Amino acid sequence: MAALQSLLVCVIFAFAAILIPTNTSAQLSADFYQKVCPRALPVIRSVVKRAIIREPRMGASLLRLHFHDCFVNGCDGSNLLDDTANFTGEKTALPNLNSLRGFDVVDEIKAAVDKYCKASVVSCADILAVAARDSVRILGGSFYKVLLGRRDARNASRNDANTNLPPPFFSFSQLISNFQAHGLDLKDLVVLSGGHSIGLARCTTFRARIYNDTNIDKSFAASMQKGCPVNGEDNNTEPLDATTTKFDTVYYKALLKNEGLLHSDQELFKNNGSDSDKLVQYYSNHPRGFAKDFGVSMIKMGNMKPLTGNLGEIRLNCRRVN
């Protein structure tokens, strides 16, 4: 009898194990959609290209959407969710409010790819990753293979967005601590900051730098002050570097001249012989090295805590859970 009971227990546990999903740790792969929708990526690229032609700034906005997604509990499309009566998402977090943009383009991409695939098989999180890569490429950067297979979060956290996204006033030690907390290192910090090679910044993000910082070129500061007064005009914008619609290394050249627009950018170069200084100097003179390393770090960032397998969902609408 005891032997029979033991056998029954083993059978019950074995059956229970069969019922437990085993593919929640599935790996991301570059050809994830090859069988279910082989033309999904070209469709995404075509929409991104049209959006950038309409508004060149949109490339930087789509790149930033991916960054702000990944740094808050992983690359899961959580920052796309709208607030509801019972839910407060990340769009109203301080780093995102009146700042994060491109949501309409994401909607446009989602509609186009779902129509082509004849089903909702491409996640919103993957759309952000691919759109970021395509934006970089369209604006002059290098191509890199995006790993795919992310699923979409069913929740979001405004508090985590406020806590996890590095603000533009961070010191170097705060920046490196923030990146290390996300599994990234000094090289990732310096190379991913090169994303500021494209796009604009609002006055409220650099006002303190142009009026208070001492490690800033005086002529550059005076020029920025014309469009960003001490008080008011918070939403006035200035280019993050001199070639704001071209993905290049001018951003790093500006840091060498103390012309970084954001305090956090200039923290990467202090002319003191640090490892960070050396990386800035290297990238300023090696566009190909920057392009290669940027792709490597983007892939590394894109692998941060993705939902795969049976976790999360594939949203029908990127702005709300199914």
Is 244 one of the annotated binding-site residues? yes
Is 167 one of the annotated binding-site residues? no
Q: What are 218-222's contacts with CB under 8 Å, separation 24+? A: 220/257, 220/258, 220/259
Q: Which are the contacts of 115, defined by CB distance < 8 A and separation ≥ 6?
A: none
Is 243 one of the annotated binding-site residues? no
Is 72 one of the annotated binding-site residues? yes
Is 263 one of the annotated binding-site residues? no
Is 95 one of the annotated binding-site residues? no
Is 78 one of the annotated binding-site residues? yes
Could you give the CA distance from residue 24 to residue 319 in angstroms, rounded to a whole number?
A: 24
Which one of 68, 182, 263, 286 is the catalytic residue? 68
Is 166 one of the annotated binding-site residues? yes
Annotated catalytic residue 68: yes
Cβ of 210: how many Cβ atoms within 10 Å?
A: 21
Is 114 one of the annotated binding-site residues? no
* Phi-psi category of residue 302: left, alpha or beta, with phi > 0 → left and psi -120 to 50 → alpha: alpha
Task: Point out the annotated binding site for substrate.
Answer: 166
Going by the annotation, the residues of the binding site are 69, 72, 74, 76, 78, 90, 166, 196, 241, 244, 248
Residue list, annotated binding site for Ca(2+): 69, 72, 74, 76, 78, 90, 241, 244, 248
Kindly list the catalytic residues. Answer: 68
